[in-house]
Structure 1
Amino acid sequence: MSTRPAFNEYLPLAEKYVSLVPEGHIAEVLGRQHDETLRSLSDLSEEQANVRYAEGKWSLKQVVGHIADVERLWNYRILYIARGDAREFSGYDREIFVQNSPFSHLPLQEALKDYAAVRQSTITLVGSLTEEALKRLGTFNNYPLSARAAAYVIAGHELHHMSILREKYLT
């Protein structure tokens, strides 16, 4: 699937993520991201992984865990929509998720292993879907949501956070 989702396939707030995704087949984009993220973060020390750039901000490990958890949620939405079980999907509270996640206590390599497993699942799921399945619609926060738009949100969400990591954590 190399066709970008149309604006009427996702909620307006998602545009900030969808617009970040480069052209190309979305499963391939997700695969390249996986490789680049692991290259960028695998050699960091635990001390670097525990850094918070400001009071009340997440550590780098928590950001990695957040990326994986959010991807899990979007995969759930993709699966339901692609299989034709359209429904209304709700949001979640990211602060509660991070607060109750194990990522601050895990070694960085374990957090990256979790990220890699989730991403491989995403690539397999998205790569297996037909054009018809990718275009199917559900509803998210009272807006239409296609399976392909959800895949683009996953990719854009990671690009957003990797940009922050490079700017604020890896300088």
Structure 2
Amino acid sequence: MSCQNNKSINPDSEMLINSIPRSEYNTNMAYYTAKALPGNSLEEMLSNTTTEMIAFIGAIPEDKIDYAYGPFKWTVGEVLQHIISYEEIMLEVALLNAGVISEKKHTVYYNQNTTIAGANGKSKSDLLAKFNSVRQKTENAFNSLTDEQQKRMGILDGNMTSVRVIAFCISGHQTHHFNVIRERYLD
């Protein structure tokens, strides 16, 4: 099974995160931002991340969705659900920090176990549909933010970060877990 990086992503695209001042995020955020997909704009980076996710899920054999590589380890489906749930949570944080919303919905009970809730019994198509729904909201939200809102600083996991850096964390978090799936779950 080949879940390699999508070849349609322009390899000449700039790593946009390199143009963002380090004062907008700290070393803890750099783990995921360094794994974000390339793009010459935030919109292109998110689009590349979307393309990658659709191709990645499509390449996973249906019989691997419920596979876990060991006892007490997440299944492939749970890892994919975690990626999707993390994105919902990060989008909420971004919108809270940007001042677009004022009420928490997803971040109130966030922990590793809640991010995999509901994964059992979901097919690839179920997970892909949920991903597409969440990603559409993410892309629409970030595309609607002004430059000032994207640069606004707020708290993410106890660290000061700009709203736009959260989009890079979403992309890098996805890449991180794709690498884990490739290394530990798939032959």
TM-score, structure 1 length as denominator? 0.85
Partner residue in 1 for 2:6? none
Q: Take 2:70 and 2:147, find their aligned partners in 1: how far apart are those partners?
A: 43
Aligned 1:58-69 pairs, distance under 5 A:
58-69=74-85
C-alpha RMSD of matched pairs (Å): 2.4
Which consecutive aligned stretches of 4+ in structure 1 deviate over 6 angstroms post-superposition? none
**Aligned AA for 1:27?**
E
Which moves more between the two structures, 4-13 or 106-115? 4-13
Look up the match of 2:87. Answer: 71
Structure 2 vs 1, CA of residues 84 and 110 (structure 1 numbering), >3 Å: closer, same or farther?
A: closer
Q: Quick check: 1:90–1:140 contact (8 Å CA) kept in 2? A: no
Aligned length: 167
Structure 1: stretches of 5+ with no match in the other structure? none
| 2:152 paired with 1:95 | no
Residue aligned with 1:50, SS:
coil
Aligned to 1:170: 186
Change (3 A) 1:142 1:65: closer
1:132 Cα shift?
1.1
* Partner residue of 1:125 out of 135, 141, 157: 141
Higher helix share: 1
Q: Quick check: 2:84–2:134 contact (8 Å CA) kept in 1?
A: yes
Alignment partner, residue 137 of structure 1: 153
Cα drift, residue 168 of structure 1? 2.1
| Contact 2:79–2:177 (Cα < 8 Å) also in 1 | yes
Gaps of at least 5 residues in structure 2 are 1-15
Point out which structure has higher relative CO (alpha carbons under 8 A, 6+ apart). 1
TM-score w.r.t. the length of structure 2 is 0.78
**Shift in Å at residue 155 of structure 1?**
0.8
> Which residue matches 1:106?
122
The CA distance in 1 between the partners of 2:168 and 2:69, in whole Å, is 28
1:76-100 CA-to-partner distances (Å, cap 9, x unmatched) read 01111223679xx8893212432xx
CA displacement 1:26-53 (0-9 Å, x = unmatched) = 2211111212221122253431111112
1:6 to 2, 21, 25: 21
Distance (whole Å) between structure 2 residues aligned to residue 91 and residue 152 of structure 1: 23
Where does residue 19 of structure 1 map in the other structure?
Answer: 34
